[in-house]
Amino acid sequence: MKRTVQQLMIIAAAAVFGYGCAGSDTGTDITGTAVEAQITEDESGSQDPMDPDTDMSAERTGNNTVSADNTIGRDMNIVALVQQNPNLSTFLELIRAADLVTILESPAPYTVFAPTNEAFAALPAGTIESLKDPASKLELTRIIQAHVLPNRISSAEMQHNMPMVTAQGDEVIVTKDGAAIEVGGAKVIIPDVQASNGIVHVVDRVLVPPQRSND
């Protein structure tokens, strides 16, 4: 099943927008040794990737439902914000399926590029169903991580040709022309939605992780 999902995502990268995220092969392999479960940023600005093997199911709220009142400080956290937008419902379902709800509710600062439902609908038929299969959890986690940065970056801080390191350790490149911003080929259509634990940018395409030699 994992191979089927990977093949579908490769097709998506070519058919939807011609390429996936720019990246390197030096990122953390999600099938390797477990790393820190939370994304952290130390005083020197170094970033640790998420641990895709962490089981967060026991810590999630009842029946996989995230309350819009589940906040940290004055603002809603990232998951609650995503839940409030009906056009991000597919992304929310995949966050839950990957057991990443608790991580994205945690206080550490994140930047999340949230694809719309239309972006997911543009993937090859059967891709979303395959990703929700428990056998594809590692691959799904890797895809969600491609949309998360372990620090807070606003649109004003993004510069043309600026590389950013995702939660899985790959690079995604920003292209900027005035107010128009693309991240890994995906257009930012709603920038700078502030959350209590980071910032959300809504994008029009799914960011496909780069393929690695051992995939």
CATH number for the domain spanning 134: value is 2.30.180.10
Query: β-pairing, 110-115 with 198-203?
Result: parallel
Write the single-letter amino acid at 90. T
Can you give the pTM of this predicted structure? 0.69
In a domain, 215, yes or no: no
In a domain, 110, yes or no: yes
In a domain, 100, yes or no: yes
Domain range spanning residue 112? 2-27+36-46+62-203
pLDDT given at position 72: 38
User: In angstroms, rounded to a whole number, what is the distance separating the alpha carbons of residues 60 and 178?
Assistant: 40
pLDDT given at position 7: 53
pLDDT given at position 213: 53
In a domain, 121, yes or no: yes
Instruction: List phi, psi (to 5°) of 14.
Output: -80, -40
In a domain, 70, yes or no: yes
User: In angstroms, rounded to a whole number, what is the distance separating the alpha carbons of residues 91 and 93?
Assistant: 5
pLDDT given at position 9: 54
In a domain, 212, yes or no: no
The residues, any chain, with a CB within 8 Å of residue 168's CB and separated by 6 or more, are 27, 28, 30, 49, 50, 52, 142, 145, 146, 209
In a domain, 211, yes or no: no
pLDDT given at position 17: 35
pLDDT given at position 108: 87
Q: Tens of pLDDT along the chain (215 residues)?
A: 444 555 555 444 444 333 333 333 333 332 333 333 333 333 334 344 444 443 333 333 333 333 333 333 457 999 999 999 999 999 999 999 999 999 999 998 999 999 999 999 999 999 999 999 999 999 999 999 999 999 999 999 999 999 999 998 999 999 999 999 999 999 999 999 999 999 999 999 999 887 665 55
In the chain, the number of structural domains is: 1
In a domain, 51, yes or no: no
